[in-house]
Structure 1
Amino acid sequence: MGMLDISLQSFNSVSLLGALTVLLLIYFISSSSLDSHYNGKEPPGPTPLPVLGNLLQLDMKRIFITLPELFKKYGSVFTVYFGPKKVVVLAGYKTVKEALGNYDDVFGDRDPLLFVDEANQGHGVTWSNGDSWKEMRHFALSNLRQFGIGKKASEDKIIEESHHLIEVIKKFKGAAFDTTEPLTYAVSNIISSIVFGSRFEYDDPVPGP
């Protein structure tokens, strides 16, 4: 029994040492490859850990605070790793405008979601990419223009709805709140005003069956 315990302890020690050795090798390999990438080829950013990336350095519950702090340190274009996935972050109005306006071929695509891609097979305006997205966008815009999109009438409706949205935001008196519903209602009201000529109050009851 004593010899069995010693053997098990030796096996556990060897296994632990082997695992640590593998992790160290992964760390050094990934660090060296990242250093070569950061040599003027990719945007700067915090050094990631193997597998975990920068997850331990990011407050995922308050990512809207963490990312601006990285922006102050690394500039308006920087790299973070959400686990093994690399993400290049563009911060600031001018940077985003320049990227989408002057380099739309590079930044025009969006990150595909596997379950969405399987569901719509790459079709539709919302999640399509590349040539398919350009064709769908052209089709959608050309049809929306028939309803007044891009004309003075639609601009007036957007401005009017923005005033209603501002009034809703003011009711919270600077306190934190979930913006999902108010923004969704505002967008829906703009579409409703343009297409049907009427809008709905944000606190309208849900219609019954």
Structure 2
Amino acid sequence: MSVLDSVVLQTPSLVTLLGTVVFLLLLYLLSCSSQEQGKDPPGPRPLPLLGNLLMLDLSRPYNGLFELSKKYGSVFTVHLGPKKVVVLAGYKTVKQALVNHAEEFEDRDIIPIFQDLTKGHGIMFANGDSWREMRGFALTTLRHFGMGKKMGEEKIIEECGNLIEVFEKHEGKAFDTTWPLHHAVSNIMAVILNGNRFEYTFVSLLHPG
């Protein structure tokens, strides 16, 4: 094979590589220009396809988001891959959005597979009018069982005492708090609904094993 034939064979792959680079560069420039036009809250410039994922520790993304809030403020934009996300940081900002402007922020981003499975029914995966009705029904029912009343507060404080005893048994050593916290929440619900609680050694239905 001659040198000329070798160059001709390599040309298509070179053209493909250059085309890919140009395409990614255009995506990057378009994403930058959309933010500069002021349509979105400020935020770090995203990389093509990856967005800002390289800036976040995926095992603890809240740490990275907290650091970004110091630079860009309590409302900022990040790109998780190709998906654009507006982040609200801080108690006052979240309260203003969810309480003072509840109607604008009541819709939730439902994962398509759950939307297909539930057809928008239920509390966890509902949206819009269905979500408002289910939320109102759930809150009314829970208030009937004592949520928001002093009795509910007393039950929570009592269960906190039991949870502290479980923590103290580990004598300051590191341990997984996931299931004790799950048991505590389950016990509070159980006490409010039927007046009984379960010991933390009880094999809860929440536990996979």
Please, what TM-score do these two structures have when normalized by structure 1? 0.87
Deviation at 1:85, TM superposition (A): 0.7
Match of 2:53 in 1: 55
CA distance in 2, matches of 1:110, 1:146: 27
Matches of residues 102-141 of structure 1 in structure 2 within 5 Å? 102-141=100-139
CA distance in 1, matches of 2:171, 2:43: 36
Aligned-residue RMSD, C-alpha: 2.1
The residue identity in structure 2 corresponding to 1:120 is T
**Secondary structure in 2 matching 1:112:** coil
Equivalent residues of 2:50, 2:80 under 8 A apart: yes
Deviation at 1:197, TM superposition (A): 0.8
Matches of residues 52-91 of structure 1 in structure 2 within 5 Å? 52-91=50-89
Match of 1:190 in 2: 188
Deviates more, 1:131-140 or 1:14-23: 14-23
Identity fraction in percent: 56
Match of 2:35 in 1: 34
CA distance in 2, matches of 1:19, 1:63: 30
Change in Cα spacing, 1:206 to 1:145, as seen in structure 2 (3 Å) is: closer
Deviation at 1:121, TM superposition (A): 0.6
CA distance in 2, matches of 1:33, 1:77: 17
Equivalent residues of 2:41, 2:77 under 8 A apart: yes
**Secondary structure in 2 matching 1:89:** strand
The residue identity in structure 2 corresponding to 1:119 is L
CA distance in 2, matches of 1:180, 1:119: 28
Q: 2:142 aligns with which of 141, 144, 148?
A: 144
Deviations 1:116-160 (A, max 9, x none): 111111111112111111101111222223322222212211121
Deviates more, 1:140-149 or 1:112-121: 140-149
Equivalent residues of 2:28, 2:46 under 8 A apart: no
Change in Cα spacing, 1:102 to 1:67, as seen in structure 2 (3 Å) is: same
CA distance in 2, matches of 1:90, 1:104: 14
The residue identity in structure 1 corresponding to 2:131 is W
Deviations 1:82-139 (A, max 9, x none): 0011111111112111211101112222211111111111111112111111101111
Match of 1:10 in 2: 11
**Secondary structure in 1 matching 2:104:** helix
2:148 maps to 1:173: no
* Larger relative helix fraction: 1
Please, what TM-score do these two structures have when normalized by structure 2? 0.87
Runs of 4+ in 1 over 4 A off after TM superposition: none
2:84 maps to 1:100: no
Deviates more, 1:77-86 or 1:155-164: 155-164
CA distance in 1, matches of 2:124, 2:68: 29
Deviation at 1:48, TM superposition (A): 0.6
Q: Where does the alignment leave 5 or more consecutive residues of structure 1 unmatched?
A: none
Query: How many residues are aligned here?
Result: 203
Change in Cα spacing, 1:147 to 1:69, as seen in structure 2 (3 Å) is: same
